[in-house]
Chain A
């Protein structure tokens, strides 16, 4: 309060006038008030008000010390963070092995990246998640809405309709088994039309449109506060051609990652991205790695990599699922799970799962028909 006027962060001209008028400490300024100040120095009332606001902020900031008094940052303990995270729901994928690996499902407020060879099922999984996020809370879902940003044009509406119908059917079976009041009430709102009408679809044709869309997304999300999932299907596709300047690409991708992290945190939604695989040519052999480079690898919290593994029988594929960078797993290299993924022809979408434990870790065998 006894702060010298000369040290306040005001415009130099204004400071000179204050000193010439005889003000010496910040306290004197605050006591005079805006009207008196404007009369004394000869500035407009708005300018005087602004100056006093700055002075007040400076003084209160100083008085509070280092305990972070201003409203821009908030402090909380790690215990509070843990409780907050545990209380949050997961978006289940209807594939129990995948849910187990992810620790319950796709987590809200985190970025999950799905990588894999072409045709392995990345877009399918995204479409499934866009339906699953809408499952009512009494059935174990988060009852949210979904935003689907498509860069490759691989979003097939009739497929989503199939998935939605199967999901509704599944919930109906549960409701029939349990016969509870809230289940039946929730089912009335959960139908094919309502599911489709709560998936907001954006089509972006190049990287500029994609960047614009992601930067405009917070406005959209503040209007639609029920959105709990943002899917960007094909984050690699618009960035992998026509880019002579790779450092520009890295900068753009970093900005994009930051924006997505902000969206995930502020709106408590899960962000799911799909990425392509590319060949890294080593000295003796080449390996398949996720595209967009090493620095992009830090953008996602959880990275799922799907591989093909040939089986003897035609029509039965094994997906080797590697979950990298999952915070729960201490050593990611020694941890691999093999899942059998067979799709039934009769139903539009259903995964039959066999989980085979590897020698490294023990898993519960979970068989889901």
Chain B
């Protein structure tokens, strides 16, 4: 299908257009974009797993908010911690050669699990030579922020993160999780205020993401409440459970891409298996991007269960 970008090198004569210079500056033909895309290697942030990268056509996009939703213990924290490590690899191996900011809103940061992941990096990233892995000081480039209420969170994303981003010290922002901030403070009648907060946060995160070309990953929980309205909005069913990402349609409008992770227990293969990780298979489903046709199930079992084992 593809031609080489070199063949399509056309000379644009800008003088022939008597246009406002701003229009000229803003104008980019889709072909130019495509050529940029073909030649540059770091248009996406790889997840460190070739299977998941194939699902997402390279990884998560650099501009825009990506959401990772799922039930508890589905593997969301695992994926986000792995991403914190992936972003520090060189461009050649799918990273962005920079650190990550992890914003926790309810639980404490899982530092023990992070340590285990760091120790297992050599085994997990077989595509990267060992000397390079050894040189990277993973722990030094992960910045952890705690924001337990809305004002602290607002302050965090407007002032503190911009500082790190301007200095180029981070190129990934992970928020775990946004729903927790809204659970306590807002009741059913405060939906208008809640929507306004969500829109403001979404717009700020979006502008940060586009200004600094930094992926923003938001971890979201799922709710089970099913009403007619939510059914019309689209719920994602795995087996018979209807799991619906929290925060509603206001938040969903701000997202570029939504990933659903779920865990489906498999029947036990051998009796007497001790570990509680043995029988689970993780599904990652991608929904709601402009890039792909609609959802299809994908088994990331090999990759994710490997991570689970690494965590102990």
A residues within 8 Å of B by Cβ? 117-121, 123-124, 127, 130, 148, 152-161, 165, 192-193, 196-205, 212-213, 216, 219-220, 223, 236-237, 240-242, 276-279, 281, 285-288, 307-310, 314-315, 317, 341, 343-345, 348-349
Contact = CB atoms under 8 A, between A and B. Distances in A.
Contacts of A154: 64, 256, 289-290
A308 B203 CA distance: 25
A153 B33 contact: no
Nearest to A191: B3
B20 A219 contact: yes
A272 to B, nearest CB: 14
A285 B235 CA distance: 19
The 6 A-B pairs at the shortest CB distance, nearest first, are namely A119-B288, A123-B290, A308-B234, A343-B293, A199-B30, A196-B31
A200 B27 contact: yes
Contacts of A130: 30
A308 B191 contact: no
B189 to A, nearest CB: 10
A229 B101 CA distance: 42
B30 A212 contact: no
Nearest to A123: B290
Contacts of B1: 161, 165, 192
A156 B289 contact: yes
A307 B232 contact: yes
A158 B57 contact: yes
A50 B106 CA distance: 76
B293 A345 contact: yes
B229 interface: yes
Contact of A310 (B229, B231, B290): B231
Interface string B225-245: 000110111110110000000
Contacts of A281: 191
A119 B229 contact: no
B199 interface: yes
A196 B30 CA distance: 5
A71 to B, nearest CB: 25
Nearest to B7: A193
B134 interface: no
B229 A279 contact: yes
Contact of B20 (A127, A216, A279): A216
Interface in B226-270: 228-229, 231-235, 237-238, 248-250, 252-253, 255-256, 258
7 contacts: A161-B1, A200-B27, A216-B20, A220-B23, A242-B203, A308-B231, A343-B294
A127 B34 CA distance: 14
Nearest to A149: B26
B287 interface: yes
Contacts of B3: 192-193
Given A276-B253, A288-B233, A148 B30 contact: yes
B258 A193 contact: no
A117 B233 contact: yes
B161 to A, nearest CB: 18
B99 interface: no
Contacts of A117: 232-234, 249, 252
A118 B207 contact: no
B184 interface: no
B203 A241 contact: yes
B249 A118 contact: yes
A203 B31 contact: no
Which of B10, B199, B291, B297 lies at the interface centre, i.e. has the most chain A CB atoms within 10 A of its CB?
Answer: B291
A212 B291 CA distance: 28
Contact of B19 (A118, A120, A203, A220): A220
Which one of B22, B206, B233, B235 has the highest number of Cβ atoms from chain A below 10 Å of its Cβ? B233
A201 B291 contact: no
What secondary structure prevails in chain B residues at the interface with A?
A: mixed
A165 B2 CA distance: 9
A124 B200 contact: no
A118 B28 CA distance: 26
A308 B233 contact: yes
Interface in B276-312: 287-297
A156 B248 CA distance: 25
A315 B295 contact: yes
A286 B30 contact: no
Contact of B294 (A156, A198, A199, A317): A317
Given A161-B34, A201-B28, A201-B33, A288 B293 contact: no
A160 B3 CA distance: 15
A152 B256 contact: yes
B256 A153 contact: yes
Contacts of A124: 290, 293
Given A242-B200, A314-B238, A153 B64 contact: yes
B200 to A, nearest CB: 6
B249 A288 contact: yes
Contacts of B23: 213, 216, 219-220
B287 A223 contact: no
Contact of B249 (A121, A242, A278): A278
B1, B2, B20, B255, most chain A CB atoms within 10 A: B1
A349 B199 CA distance: 32
Contacts of B20: 216, 219
A187 to B, nearest CB: 16
Interface string B182-215: 0000000001000010011011001100100000
B84 to A, nearest CB: 23
Contacts of B31: 193, 196-197, 199
A203 B64 CA distance: 13
A335 B29 CA distance: 40
B37 interface: yes
A193 B5 CA distance: 9
Nearest to B228: A285
B63 interface: yes
A223 B17 contact: yes
Given A192-B3, A219-B23, A120 B234 contact: yes
Interface in B1-24: 1-3, 7-8, 10, 17-20, 22-23
A118 B30 contact: no
A197 B207 contact: no
